[in-house]
Structure 1
Amino acid sequence: MCKLFIEADPALWQTRLKSVRLNGFSTSVRLENLYWQVLEEIAQRDGMSLTQLLARLHEELTFAHGGVENFASFLRVCCGRYLALQLEGDVPRDLGTPIRSLDADAILAREAHRNGRVLSSAA
């Protein structure tokens, strides 16, 4: 079992630091290359650059929750959810389908149902 993970390309878990401008401030985000690859794919689906995606996510997260405690962790979770939602069939594997065109409320409701949760009306 472990060989499947251990023998993977070591470049996938090497980290890269990227400088970005979020809310008018320059900052850096350090993630493993695998996460950068997934974020690039998400950005490309919606015709954005990686920097534009990061800025949009940060802005919307700040608006929705009032702040961002650990943006790198949030980005890792975004990548994991994106891949999990693809496996569930909620996000098409067809990269020509933009994320913004999907019915987020319906996807969140299905995900909550699968996890035995009930969404609040504020979601």
Structure 2
Amino acid sequence: MCRLFIGADPELWLSVTRSLRIDGAATSVRLENFFWWTLEDIAARDGLTATRLIGKLYDESRNEGHDLDNFASFLRVCCGRYLSLQLDGLVPTNKSAAISTLDADAILASEEKNYRERQSSWEKSHVNNHAA
């Protein structure tokens, strides 16, 4: 099982710091290549650069009142959710489908339902493992 993960190209987890401007201020974000490449994929679907996508995510997150103290973690979770939503069939794998055209509310509702089902399964597994 672990061979699938440890046999991957080490370049995937190489950390890279990129300088960018968010809200007019110069800053930097450090992420592993895997996450940079995933952000580039997400951005390209809407004709954006990764830098522009990050700026939009920052602005919209701030407008929603989210705590942005650990913005790099937020970006990693965005990448993981994007890939998970594709696996669940909620976001098309066809990269010509712009993210901005998708029904975000319907996707979020389905994601929440899927998450609750998984959480229930994890909790049952955890209880069963301790009972054994």
TM-score between both structures, scaled by the size of structure 1:
0.91
The structure number with the bigger radius of gyration is: 2
In the alignment, structure 1 segments of 5+ residues that lack a partner are: 118-123
TM-score between both structures, scaled by the size of structure 2:
0.85
Of stretches 15-24 and 58-67 in structure 1, the one that deviates more from structure 2 is 58-67
**Backbone CA RMSD of aligned residues:** 1.2
Amino acid at match of 2:13: W
Of stretches 107-116 and 87-96 in structure 1, the one that deviates more from structure 2 is 107-116
Please say if 1:17 is aligned against 2:43.
Answer: no
Q: Secondary structure at the match of 1:19?
A: strand
Q: Secondary structure at the match of 1:26?
A: strand
Identity fraction in percent = 53
In the alignment, structure 2 segments of 5+ residues that lack a partner are: 118-132
Partner of residue 51, structure 2: 51
TM superposition outliers: structure 1 runs of 4+ over 4 Å = none
Alpha-carbon deviation of 1:113?
A: 1.6
Distance 1:99 1:58 in 2: 17
Amino acid at match of 1:102: L
Per-residue CA deviation, residues 23-64 of structure 1 (Å, 9 max, x unaligned), is 111110000000000000000000001111010000000110
Please say if 1:35 is aligned against 2:35.
Answer: yes
**Paired residues, number:** 117
Q: How does 1:60-79 map to 2 (within 5 A)?
A: 60-65=60-65, 67-79=67-79
Distance 2:84 2:116 in 1: 16
Structure with the largest fraction of helix: 2
Of stretches 1-10 and 71-80 in structure 1, the one that deviates more from structure 2 is 1-10
Alpha-carbon deviation of 1:17?
A: 0.3
